Amino acid sequence: MNHILVNTLAVAVVLGVIVFVHELGHFLAAKAFGVRVETFSLGFGKRLFGLTVGGTDYRISLLPVGGYVKMAGENPMDQPSGRSDEFLSKPRWQRFFIAFAGPFMNAVLAVGLLIPVYMREYPHNPVLDQPAVVAEVQPGSPAAQAGIQPQDRIVEIDGAQHPDWETVFLKTAVSVDHPIRVTVQRGGAYIETRLTPRSDGPDNPPLVGVAPEQPTRFGAINPGSPAARAGLRPGDLAVRVNGAPVLDPGNLIAQIQSAQPGAAGTPLGTPGRPVRLDLQRGGQAISLEVTPSLEVNLGHRQWMIGAAFVNDTTFLKLSFTDALKHSLADNKQYSMVILDLVGKLVSHHASIQNLQGPVGIASVTGDAARASSLLPLFSVTSLISLNLGILNLLPIPVLDGGMILFLFIESILRHEISLRIKERVYQAGFAFLLILMTVVVYNDIVRAVVVKN
């Protein structure tokens, strides 16, 4: 029960802040262009208290989730009175900026919230910036079924040329259960194939089955283990095993297994065949001989040396200027991913199950709220704000993008669209959003039931 309460409160606060900032954008733009704002409410429902200044009722309402702005003459279904301070009396370009100001403020909030996060801990994994060279392919995975092999270089994925690994992961994340075109370079040949990422549960990224080529660095060494007896140390970088290049930690494990006798029927603890590890230690090349022993790992019998791996991800403390630069760059990249997903949904190249509804958002925000600092909550709020800002710009009636579309059409026609047509279009837009929200909430409930079971 406490879990549900935290999730509910967290999503109420996060969505409340995002919606309030959105409406603040409309309010500031309306005031700037001389539009009379009748109400600026913090919350919805019954007015609890407030004050009226300059003709605007600034109020606190009963339901503290977001807020709203009511401008004079903004309802296209109403017959305008012709007063100069009404929304519909203003030039179309001013109405455009008023409509655009809400999503723009969501983008400003998204960028602003990441700045303190990145000034405290900016995660940098150099592997994500590297060309997409495949180190290993999981047997039976979508990548294996697509014919991708170790040491292939992905030179194109879903239209992105010469991608790095971050681009590969982002492209596959929005194409679950839908094939995408992939071109790999193998030696001097270019091979085109189709890759279909598979769903791997509601809390996991889609299953692709490829691992990037990355440094294989050792971390903790178990006392008394084969690695400890051989003289392996934390921080050692594996370069070769038995003369073959080490492409990533999984590749090293696979090569150690392939050099050993079969595990079936062999008693646990039995020493295996020695393997030679060529290492980099403090800038110097050294070689060690390690003899694995047969142990049980995660329920499977496996030849092990008793050493863990660490990745090269570092957490930097950026200056304000660098944090702003990275926040702008990351929000731009996230925006492209969101627009890519919307395009795939429209063209039926992505599933609507990729969308998170209120239940999913509540779960994510609740997890962030339970963290030991506010930084995860800032990151989640930033991403949700960017999503809502972009989705509000979609050309769907009742959204800001629908109003902008009407303004664009009316600018071409050089006259207002009739109220009868607007009424029918707005009704259709409202029905579409209602159906979409119903489907998304249903998917949320199904995911929650699957996780619970």
Q: If you ran DSSP here, which 8-state letter would residue 418 be given?
A: P
Tell me the CA distances in angstroms from 74 to 45, 88, 121, one per residue in order: 20, 6, 44
Is residue 55 a part of any domain in this protein? no
Q: How many independent structural domains does the chain possess?
A: 3
Q: Is 61 inside a domain boundary? A: no
Residue 369, SS3 per DSSP:
helix
424: part of which helix (H) or strand (E)? helix 419-452
Same domain, 333 and 427: yes
| Same domain as 195, residue 298 | no
Identify the pLDDT of residue 264: 73
Residue 54 covered by a domain: no
Note whether 270 and 185 are same-domain residues: no
pLDDT at 77: 64
163 CB burial (10 A radius; 0-12, 13-18, 19+): buried
Whether 333 and 271 share a structural domain: no
Q: Are residues 117 and 142 in the same domain?
A: no
Same domain? 345 vs 442? yes
Q: Which residue has the tokens 């957490």?
A: 315
348/246 same-domain check: no
pLDDT of 437 reads: 79
Q: Is residue 46 part of a domain?
A: no
* Number of neighbours of residue 383 by Cβ within 10 angstroms: 18
Tokens of 67: 């807020």
Helix 375-392 vs helix 2-32: crossing angle, to nearest 10: 50
Is residue 239 one of the residues assigned to a domain?
yes
DSSP state of 231: T
**Which residue has 């009407």 as its token pair?**
406
Residue 245 belongs to some domain of the structure = yes
Does residue 409 sit within a domain? yes
Residue that is last in its domain, among 260, 276, 310: 310
Last residue of one domain, picked from the residues 212, 242, 275: 212
Ranges of residues in the chain whose predicted pLDDT is under 70: 1, 65, 76-80, 201-203, 353-354, 444, 446-453
pLDDT at 80: 64
- Show the tokens assigned to 57: 């009722």
Q: Which residues partner with 58 through β-bridges?
A: 40, 51
Query: Which tens digit of pLDDT belongs to each residue from 252-311?
Result: 998 999 888 887 778 888 888 999 999 999 889 999 999 999 988 877 888 999 999 998
Q: Where are the alpha helices (DSSP H) in 154-206?
A: 165-173
**Contact of 15 with 381, CB cutoff 8 Å:** no
Question: What pLDDT does 76 receive?
Answer: 64
Whether residue 63 lies inside any domain: the answer is no
User: For position 132, which CATH number holds?
Assistant: 2.30.42.10
Q: Looking at the structure, do residues 324 and 448 belong to the same domain, yes or no?
A: yes
Question: What are the angstrom distances between the C-alpha of 254 and each of 136, 220, 226?
Answer: 9, 20, 17
Give the domain range for residue 230.
216-310
Q: Are residues 373 and 421 in the same domain?
A: yes
- Residues 342, 434 within the same domain: yes
- State the Cα–Cα distance between residues 114 and 117, nearest whole angstrom: 5
Domain boundary among 169, 197, 212: 212
Whether 156 and 250 map to the same domain: the answer is no
Between the alpha carbon of residue 408 and those of residues 84, 121, 400, the distances in Å are 21, 43, 12
Same domain as 292, residue 238: yes
